[in-house]
Amino acid sequence: MQKERVYIFDTTLRDGEQSPGASMNTEEKIKIAAQLERLGVDIIEAGFAAASPGDFDAIRRICEVVKKSTVCSLARAVERDIVKAGESLKDAANKRIHTFIATSPIHMEHKLKMTPDQVIERAVEAVKLAKSFTDDVEFSCEDAGRSEMPFLKEILDAVIEAGATTLNIPDTVGYRLPQELGEMIKELHEHVGDRAIISVHCHNDLGLAVANSLFSVMNGARQIECTINGLGERAGNAALEEIVMAMKTRSDVFGFVETGINTKEIYPTSRLVSAITGIEPQPNKAIVGKNAFAHESGIHQDGVLKCQETYEIMKAEDIGLEKNRIVLGKHSGRHAFKERLEELGFDLSQEDLNRAFERFKVLADKKKEIFDDDIRMLIANEITNIPQTFELVGLQIADCSAGVPSAAVTIRHNDKEITDAGIGDGTIDAIFKTIDRISGHTGLLKDYRVEAVSQGKDALAKVVVNVQFDDSKSAVIGHGLSIDTMLASAKAYIGALNSYLSMLPSDCQIDSCEGV
């Protein structure tokens, strides 16, 4: 029996970025897009072109890098949005415009203040305009989960006639139960037939996004919209890794369909996204959580040692996860380092490789054992090519139980080294205040996290900060990596500042870009 293709539509760079604290700069988005293509994602929703000049530029540059996957831009059913989307995708090898409008009674009445006839008219105009930029047009009925079936059929018929080739049915607020959404998809699939592909976009407000997506596949959906690690608005989206591995593991149920995902790239992709966004999956997260393949119970350990399938329904190797092992040290050469990076899924330019190797040698002199996760974090942390407007040169701190915490910081700016010192409520506060005074930019710390990258007393400390600078309404993320936590904290704060400066003046957001 010939299997039907289920297309994987990844929206990590659009809906995933709307997770509080998950904003990414352009270079970070390009790195993730390249990895998503390596993973085998069919469609990459690269952003919302009309949201800001930064989003527009990120989509445009992703089009230059991604050649196999289709690059998609979201657009409201508004002329300006669609034109911006079309312009941002101009150089894409394969491109799609994804336009949407709300179709539920509550959205039409209270948000759009439009009649159903006006909504259909707007939708048709939007699809026709999008069609002038590309033949691949997707239309979404925002809040379809709470929309009325007769109206859904009516508007879908209209947009198919206008040229839409994919019809997305979003459960925008995660309201539907799996059986309910499955029945909806079945009825719409029977109505649409082979005129267009039915897609679903499920949110996780009730923890049902993956289940809803799977039930939709069983009832005729042939595109699933999802994100890496389940990132997204509020409680997030359906997790790509869970959907793909559920279909792979339960081939007795899903044997009639297949995806193009290379599952061995799941874990590397998850780690890259968590390293860049600073949002780690919870330890008990299915598939990619730290405990997903861990066994503490003696009974479980004994069973797995005797027969892996007693307590594991899938192999860790299937998602690209291997046990930590020491692979490199201070005596390792450039060739061995490059080969290990390629094994871990990193494809670096010669310039990036040289810079990464220098950082690796510095680390190897300080750290006795270097693990794969150390290397992954080192590369993800160091190869973001944003302009280094400010660069940390030196840090000296003083703290004691009866004294006043203080920090002396030296920063290079415009080839000039500037040193200043300050005090604070704690050592971290003193460091950040001193950096503010030297740079002339005032930061408001929204979040601060520190964790060990691997294991051992000399484990690398990864610090992630979320900072709002000056009068900006949006916060930016900074990453710092060092064996010394205070040094990692200073690097993270300066990294956030450089990221903020690299995106100016691209912080002019539209009122709402939540989309589907």
Distance between CA atoms of 371 and 323, rounded to whole angstroms? 10
- CA-closest candidate to residue 259, choices 241, 273, 272: 241
**Which residues touch 435 (CB under 8 Å, ≥6 apart)?**
390, 409, 411, 443, 490, 493, 494, 497
Q: Which two tokens stand for residue 422?
A: 């300050």
Name the pairing type of β-strands 197-202 and 391-398: unpaired
Distance between CA atoms of 308 and 296, rounded to whole angstroms? 14
Q: Identify whether the C-beta of residue 255 lies closer than 8 Å to the C-beta of residue 248.
A: no
Q: Identify whether the C-beta of residue 133 lies closer than 8 Å to the C-beta of residue 82.
A: yes
N residues, the chain: 516
Q: Which two tokens stand for residue 126?
A: 């939007």
* φ/ψ bin of 345: left (φ > 0), alpha (ψ from -120 to 50), beta (otherwise): left
Q: Is 15 annotated as a binding residue?
A: yes
Name the pairing type of β-strands 406-413 and 391-398: antiparallel
Q: How far from the centroid of its chain's Cα atoms is residue 26's Cα? A: 12
Q: How far from the centroid of its chain's Cα atoms is residue 224's Cα? A: 16
H/E run at residue 157: helix 149-162
Q: Is 201 annotated as a binding residue?
A: yes
CA 481, 482, 485, 490 torsion-angle sign: negative
Q: Is 425 annotated as a binding residue?
A: no
3-state SS of 458-496?
Answer: CCCEEEEEEEEECCCCCCEEEEEEECCHHHHHHHHHHHH
Q: Is 237 annotated as a binding residue?
A: yes
Please provide residue 320's backbone torsions phi and psi, each rounded to the nearest 5 degrees: 85, 15
| CA terminus-to-terminus distance, the chain | 35
Q: How many helices (H) and strands (E) does the chain have?
A: 17, 16
Binding-site residue positions: 15, 201, 203, 237
Output the known binding site for Mn(2+).
15, 201, 203, 237
